[in-house]
Amino acid sequence: MKTASPAQSSLFDSAPALFLDRFEELRMELSDQQLIAEAIETNHAGVRKDRTLDRYRDHLVHYSQYLGSVFGVGFYTARRKHVRMFMNHLAKPGGPKPHESRLQCAWCKTRGYPDGRSGPGWSPSYRKSYLAAIKFLYLHFLAEEDLPDLNPAALEQSPKVPIKLGYTPSSEDVKKLLECPGTPKGRLLAHWLFYAPSRRQTFSDARWRDIDFEQATWRVMGKGDKFDIFDLAPPLSRALRLYRQWQLLEAQRNEAIRDALADPETAYVLLTRNGRKTPPQTISKMAKWHAVKAGVGVRKSEGTNDTVGGLTSRVSPHAYRRAWATIALNEKELPIDVVSEVLKHSDIATTRRHYAPTKSERARAALVGMRLT
């Protein structure tokens, strides 16, 4: 007769259905620490960055210690309310006089009740990261067949992270940028970045063969064989022609530029002195130098790379994009689907959120102005 053995191996030899309960009990013996290690190791969510995984590990250690010290539960036994309360406690102040809900948390206690950088409490974006870590953990539960299908975080809503609009030059600022003489390249860039609000890389990639002065178009190569056509506004066509004349003069005294221009493959619109294509980072710097000269968005420089006499500017290629979108929507009152198309957004919501939130005055004017004809 076969005798029962407490050894784990004998469990697997027997009919699985009979021993399912026992089997789950065995898995219960995995500690939260082990579960964190296992979840990070297997990475069912396919998180790519190691830095993100490290952060998730820290978040989950906090979550585990909170559950244990405040409620005496663990990952297996946590309920929705525990997740909710954990998320709430993150938003509460720490520091010398911590909020009640922080006091009992062992993790917070051993660290002297830290706050987020902008305290009191951790910021919405940091709390969002915490929730992502908890969902990452319970995805591991769902993905592993020997762990129970638990997800007490399923109904937990992600904290709303307020969108901070990046620096956006006004139409007055844009006028200054366009009128500032600067250098030939700086002057061209100001026109180009504003009148063809594309992405930074596309300016770096542009060759003269992509520009059709007859049709007044710029063909922008995208991924694969796809391309987009930007129509050239008359001020941009003029700026490109003037710049072209200057570049041809330069080519007469600079052999590298002359050689680059001789071959359509290497005839970039923005060539360096060595006849190479100008990298995107340099385009950002040139945009800043030009803006400093124009006196737009100027601030003291902290870095060493992009300074002109210790000054830099908040103007960037993207700032021109935002300016174009904001002026188009709020001053020219162009429909948002048109603006979205110009910016090549796949979704109109992106246009609205990131570039040009509809001004409330426009909404009021729309209500007041409604007439039936």
Interface residues toward Zn ion, by CB under 5 A: 66, 105, 107-108
Nearer to Zn ion, 87 or 105 (CB): 105
DSSP state of 263: S
Nearer to Zn ion, 130 or 218 (CB): 130
Nearer to Zn ion, 66 or 268 (CB): 66
Nearer to Zn ion, 108 or 292 (CB): 108
Smallest separation (angstroms) from Zn ion to the CB of 94: 8
- Short-list 256, 324, 316, 247, CA closest to 282: 316
Nearer to Zn ion, 68 or 280 (CB): 68
- Short-list 97, 99, 93, 130, CA closest to 115: 93
95: phi then psi, degrees, rounded to nearest 5: 75, -160
Angle between the N-to-C axes of helices 255-262 and 234-253, in degrees from 0 to 180, rounded to the nearest 10:
120
Smallest separation (angstroms) from Zn ion to the CB of 66: 5
> Do residues 297 and 315 make contact, with C-beta atoms less than 8 angstroms apart?
yes
Q: Report how far apart, in Å, the C-alpha atoms of 79 and of each of 75, 76, 85, 151 are.
A: 9, 9, 10, 8
Helix (H) or strand (E) holding 353: none
Smallest separation (angstroms) from Zn ion to the CB of 342: 47
Smallest separation (angstroms) from Zn ion to the CB of 38: 23
Listed in sequence order, the residues at least 6 apart from 108 whose beta carbon sits closer than 8 Å to its beta carbon are 62, 66, 89, 94, 98, 102, 114
Smallest separation (angstroms) from Zn ion to the CB of 107: 5
Q: Report how far apart, in Å, the C-alpha atoms of 67 and of each of 81, 105, 132, 203 are.
A: 11, 8, 17, 52
Smallest separation (angstroms) from Zn ion to the CB of 57: 16
> Do residues 53 and 88 make contact, with C-beta atoms less than 8 angstroms apart?
no
> Do residues 180 and 288 make contact, with C-beta atoms less than 8 angstroms apart?
no
Nearer to Zn ion, 102 or 187 (CB): 102
DSSP state of 84: H
Nearer to Zn ion, 110 or 183 (CB): 110
CA 219 to chain centre: 27
Nearer to Zn ion, 137 or 236 (CB): 137
Smallest separation (angstroms) from Zn ion to the CB of 161: 21
Smallest separation (angstroms) from Zn ion to the CB of 80: 18
> Do residues 197 and 324 make contact, with C-beta atoms less than 8 angstroms apart?
yes
Nearer to Zn ion, 90 or 328 (CB): 90
Rounded Cα distance, 122 and 77, in Å: 26
Smallest separation (angstroms) from Zn ion to the CB of 75: 16
Listed in sequence order, the residues at least 6 apart from 366 whose beta carbon sits closer than 8 Å to its beta carbon are none
Rounded Cα distance, 115 and 96, in Å: 10
